[in-house]
Amino acid sequence: MQKLVTIFGGSGFIGRYVARRMAKAGWRVRVASRRPNEAHFVRMYGSVGQVEPVFANIRDDASVAAALTGASAVVNCVGILAPSGRNGFDAVQSEGAARIARLAAEAGIARMVQISAIGAAADSDSDYARTKAGGEAGVREHLPDAVILRPSIVFGPEDEFFNRFANMARRAPVLPVVGANTRFQPVYVDDVAAAVEAALAGKVDGGVYELGGPDTETFRELMHRMLRTIRRRALILPVPFFGARAMAWGLDLGQTITGGLFHNGLLTRDQVRNLARDNVASGEHPGFEAFGIVPTTMGAVLPGYLWRFRPSGQYAEIKDSAKNLRT
């Protein structure tokens, strides 16, 4: 019988790539999501019945245990960039990850991959980084041989980074950037999924792995790269941190006083704290080389999905070619 892997957050940005790879590798895949009705697209990743979305809330023992029933391995891709209602940083990234590991251990599941993030640290002043570290500690407590992956910022067709700023550049002549000199090491989403697949295949030992792409660039440089790719011009306006903190404070306050009716998906105080630190591999842990993976460059991927933000969209190449024709 085919082995079964349960992927929490399997319909999300990283999770869907993991689900696709595991299905192609011959595993049965259970995609655990809070909204399984919105995750039916994952069924297409495998043969009939091979990939199934199921309900699971990682804040609840019973639904997590049900999603783990019969599984041989588990992957936790659940993470948030900003808290919303009961889904706070501690509840999701720290307690949720520990809950999955505890119930997996009780079910006799030995293999687990936890998606964390570069910069995870128990003593961080960022709730995001602190709870990522808390999740790692909870996983190691119950499954000491788990593989923990810490990617830098992840890019790909469904990302919320390049797509977001490319859309802004299409609508406005100015791009405000917080942390313009902060360095990033963007990693392609399918490379992260390939590392998960290798980990579940037992190709690496348990432990922490930092996943950074081949290009290290500042936030400002990434915006210049994005603008060149979509063939647009915009003024990149560095926002000083004191101004960003004031702006984020106001937006967070708006979410609080409206009881969550206004969700601050623009800029939070915690995101400002994160943007003040470089997001690159520290060198203290192995990276892609341990998996035998050569990370993909941004230049090989970005044009394949950012073309839609070009002034002429899919016809940009044709128009450029036509300019070279002799009249």
Amino acid 327: pLDDT: 55
320 CB-contact burial (10 Å; exposed 0-12 / middle 13-18 / buried 19+): exposed
CB 118 within 8 A of CB 212: yes
Q: What percent of the chain has pLDDT over 90?
A: 89
192-215 per-position pLDDT tens digit:
999 999 999 999 999 999 999 999
9-22 per-position pLDDT tens digit:
999 999 999 999 99
pTM (2 d.p.): 0.94
**CA pair distance 68, 49, nearest whole angstrom:** 17
Q: How confident is the model at residue 186 (pLDDT cuts 50, 70, 90)?
A: very high
Amino acid 326: pLDDT: 63
3-state secondary structure the chain: CCCEEEEECCCCHHHHHHHHHHHHCCCEEEEEECCHHHCHHHHHHCCCCCEEEEECCCCCHHHHHHHHCCCCEEEECCCCCCCECCECHHHHHHHHHHHHHHHHHHCCCCEEEEECCCCCCCCCCCHHHHHHHHHHHHHHHHCCCCEEEEECCEECCCCCCHHHHHHHHHHCCEEEEECCCCEECCEEHHHHHHHHHHHHCCCCCCEEEEECCCCCEEHHHHHHHHHHHHCCCCEEEEECHHHHHHHHHHHHHHHHHCCCCCCCCCCCHHHHHHHCCCECCCCCCCCHHHHCCCCCCHHHCCHHHHHHHCCCHHHHHHHHHHCCCCC
**CA pair distance 20, 15, nearest whole angstrom:** 9
Is the pLDDT score of 151 beyond 80? yes
Q: How confident is the model at residue 265 (pLDDT cuts 50, 70, 90)?
A: confident
97-109 per-position pLDDT tens digit:
999 999 999 999 9
The region of weakest confidence among 12-26, 108-122, 173-187, 307-321 is 307-321
Amino acid 200: pLDDT: 97
Q: How confident is the model at residue 314 (pLDDT cuts 50, 70, 90)?
A: confident
